[in-house]
Structure 1
Amino acid sequence: MAVGEEKLPPLHPVKGFRLGTTSAGIKTAGRPDLVVMEIAEGATVAGVFTRNAFCAAPVQQAKQYLAATTPRYFMVNTGNANAGTGAAGLRDSQSCCQAMASLAAINTDQVLPFSTGVIGEPLPVDKIIAALPAAQAALDSHGWEQAASGIMTTDTRPKAASVQIDCLGETITVTGIAKGAGMIKPNMATMLAYVATDAAIEQHLLEVMIEQAVNQSFNRITVDGDTSTNDACMLVATAQSSLAVVDDQQHPAYAMLQEAITGIFIELAQGLVRDGEGASKFVTVAVNGGQSEEECLKVAYTVAESPLVKTALFASDPNWGRLLAAIGRAGVENLDVDRISVYLNNVLIAANGCRAESYTEQQGVAAMASEEIIITINLDRGSDTATVWTSDLSHDYVRINAEYRT
């Protein structure tokens, strides 16, 4: 079950970035579950990782390697998170990196490992190492769609996005893939994302750009409020276009590139929510009129993560009292409830601290029947805004997670 169109858009290859996908039989025989991505020399790479204190072995290793050198390969396995595995997990992750480095004739720390799947089980190192040659042989600049499927776990469909822009007379490509359907509330969910552009972007500026893009996308989604141990989001600039290197925020191409990259991040992030485990609704929670973005986010996330709100969304039940209760417990100091108004799509349901005089149950039922719902909350206490995207909470979410290891 997922919300919206399943068909992937055309995925433009990025010069200097190739992807290869194969099956290592990690959890299911024959299922694509191992992806390698090759990065051209001269590229810059930036990453953002989970803030979960129990971060997985590959996250620890990837952060260490990324700080030491510029990566030449990403290596992604599904079916096993290699999280909660202690020192053995680090050794296993390193063994896989060494094997990939040997195949590619590069240093071990130029291979960044990523894993997703069940937590607490030993990584099947032998299976992964045995399958690496096939993944390397499959490397192709057109391998985005296969890789998008190869990194999936409980996802029901691949997520990918791509755009080409005219940037100072040069055609610049930005293409990316992502996975994640449950344990989704990034603090940078089980979430992985890989985005590449053929632009040349200076390292420090690339780090600024990924932070800005993530904060408007992957840090604005929640399916269940759980932050994974394995989250990672990577941005690669291969420097294979003819556009002069972007090395300053005043560069005439900077704003165009930031907009394009952020747009791809948002499209991927929304794709995760649309395919949230058991999701039948795609919900936008927009909070306006706050004294700060922080308090707007407090309200938005409290509403988006309320089990009572999410089950009402699944039932298409306009139970507006649950919305008011969530807003009221969001922790906003000195909140004047008499100034708040709440809309379901374009229907005013609450104002002045109670049900709006114009509201009827029929209007609410009609608004909630849609697959895509916008909950707009006006606090009327400032000029700041924030938007969060979420899904409903269905029977299938419970079933999927109850059966996850069976």
Structure 2
Amino acid sequence: MGFYDDDMYQVQRKKRRDSGIGRLILTSITSAVIGGLVVLLMLPTLSKAGYISMIQPNLAFAKDEGDAVTAANTANTVVQPVSLSVESATVEAVERVEEAIVGVINIRRVTNFWTQQTGTVEGGQGSGVIYEKKNGKAHIVTNYHVIDGAERVEVSLPNGDKVEAKILGADPYTDMAVLEIDGSAVTTVAELGNSDTLKVGEPAIAIGNPLGLEFSRTVTQGIVSGVDRSMPVDLNSDGETDWELDVIQTDAAINPGNSGGALLNIQGQVIGINTLKIAREDVEGLGFAIPINDVKKITKQLVEDGKLKRGYLGIVPRDLTTIPRYAWKQELHLPDEVKAGVLIWQIEEFTPAAKAGLRQYDVIVKLDDQEITSGAQLRKYLTLEKTAGQQVEVSYYRDGFLKTATVTLGEQGQ
């Protein structure tokens, strides 16, 4: 009897539990249905208030609010291709200058080894930028290495015509040259910008003729990767730096044939003249351009004088860092604070330096207020900052003592 009563008790507990679960499920379903109805009823109000955005399928192809398309019409609608006119800053920048980019063709005279007959051949192609037009003539800036060794130079215009060009001036140290052509067919002149205001990270656009005229006025885009860069230049292959070329670094693709072309900012202004790239398998995106502010100064003098009139000291310089360290103390008697400079390796008689009292083995450390650490820096300062007839204050060490001398510069051609 006790067992029976206990069993009935368990059955009753189970019935009560099952009844509670049923009521819970029924309550949940009822609440969900009521909540859904409330949300549906409030959708228009929420949409008008801006809390949600209601998509109306019937208006997917509507041209405006008053041109609704019914669901039936939508189902039968044929989607047509859409033609869009896309204008971007890059496109506009290129359009401003592309007609001022030309091809530069180097024509050389060669002699046939077997027949000993001479003739002319195309020695290479590069790019150029028309930057000035006046008195019926157009002036083009390009690189010196593009026209180096040419007997004559031709310019390929944007319309495909080729015209003879005159070399107004050229300089190997700065890698600059200026050409002159008849201006009657020239329709566009490039606007020169200001390279002193460039910032790392701003857009840069390169335009030129990579690999020749077949790819004329090719455009590549990147950013300004670095400013105030200096590239060592060894012109006579003697292992010593003859010049330090100030350049803008960019990751815009620059290839053979781009030399002499334009590096643009996003306004379509020329901020540099493309000159070289680092060509190694393990290196990508290292291109360089000569800053346009340097180009302005150089081209002005090349047009006026045909060359850069360098201030002439009359010495043969040698970098102090190439001299054995023991000689700094034992032979030159330099103090410990001297870390670099230019040794006067040779000095000619009756030159400006000799007349000012400078001697062999003096160590130049400063020109005016500019510190000089290499012969390349010395040449660049005398080229870009000084001209013949001007004076320069030379600070130098002799027998361990710092001295100064004022030199009236002479003139030296290239």
Alignment TM-score > 0.5, same fold: no
Q: So what's the TM-score if we normalise by structure 1?
A: 0.27
**Which has the larger share of helix?**
1
* Greater RCO, CA 8 A, separation 6+: 1
**Which has the larger share of strand?**
2
Q: So what's the TM-score if we normalise by structure 2?
A: 0.26
Q: Which has the larger radius of gyration?
A: 2
